[in-house]
Chain A
Amino acid sequence: MKKLLYILIFLLFPFVSFSQERIFSIGYGKTYVENDSTTVSVTIDLNRIPGQSEKAGGYYFVNEVIDSTKVNSRWGYYIKPTVDINIGSSTSSAPNNISLGVPVGLVYDFKETNIGIFSFYIDGAPELVADKSFNNNLYYFSINAYIKYEINHDKFLINLLTGLSNANGERDQYALTTDSYGRFTIPLFLKFSFWNTIANEGTIKEKKYKRINWSNWLKFNSVYKDAININEKKNYTFFNSKLDFYLTPNLGLNITYYNGNEEPIFKRNNSLTFGITLAR
């Protein structure tokens, strides 16, 4: 099984990697809980970016319009692969998870408004979330509904995503029995980009690249079914904030802050990491 998962990740990797804005980040960090005070972390974001949003952009297997010949056809459908790998040298330095998913869904594009553009998505996805050793795995089917918003101004950009997610499935732990798993999640993603703050006058209009990105990802998880040895309580929040300063279009410095508990093992995480971002 483990071997199959490695193969699956390897196969999905090239599909999604070429289209990412931020390919990966490698960092050196300091944690404020547990005993390990210095850590090294690696984050590879493929269509699913902590501190960014897995729902944002990326590579699609399918993205089509339903009945495009109709003038007012605002519906579409999509299938999209997602992979996310966050691995730290200590348990508390990163969420330490590996996720795979293939959402299949419907989308409704609202007409442009004075305050920006909105699209509504509803999808179902078989998903796997594993810890870095693959000894503690969650397999579930999630149903997600969310709204995506963008306003793109001369001087700044705001992206917002919020919605509701429900997951039902199993938790599989090495050498232990399998347990049922279920949760509700309210995700809130907010990203600001600022440009021209350092750029020369000549580059202002073209926005050649974004100089500063600030992404915030807040999740409220309510776990209503799980293995007793994993969950002592029901409600968890997870907060992730990432600030990227781009030195060139492809290279940046980042500061990442994690606080909270996240799937699959919901271990307390409170850390600050400094790293290098490689982007497209």
Chain B
Amino acid sequence: MKTEKIEQGVKEVIAQNSRYTVEEIKITDPIEKFITSYMGDRLARELKRKFNKIDTTRTTNELYTTLKKVSDIVTYINNYYSTL
């Protein structure tokens, strides 16, 4: 899967779980602008529904620790699709 497609998919998932539209979501924005850590477990599950190759549990825990920006999620998912 190409990075552009992953980026678009990530924006779509965030848009479907916040009151923002895909166009309003910038790659450099912090994730908490759209969905907070309170719903981090949900965000991980929603990402899994879109990107079947990712590990949901690991993604959940990464969302609390290392993934802070929209671009971090894109890079993280890209690693699954480029190495597997």
Contacts and interface: CB of A to CB of B under 8 A. Distances in A.
A69 B48 CA distance: 9
Interface in A53-89: 53, 56-65, 68-69, 73, 76, 78
A68 B48 contact: yes
A56 B44 contact: no
A234 interface: no
A165 to B, nearest CB: 19
Secondary structure of the B contact surface, majority rule: helix
Interface residues of B, number: 29
B39 A73 contact: no
Contacts, number: 91
A159 B36 CA distance: 10
B5 interface: no
B8 interface: no
A18 B62 CA distance: 11
Interface residues of A, number: 38
A206 B36 contact: no
19 contacts: A53-B38, A57-B36, A57-B39, A63-B56, A64-B57, A68-B48, A68-B49, A76-B45, A78-B41, A107-B42, A111-B16, A112-B17, A150-B36, A150-B39, A152-B19, A152-B33, A152-B34, A157-B36, A191-B38
Interface of B: 16-19, 29-30, 32-42, 44-46, 48-49, 52, 56-57, 60-61, 64-65
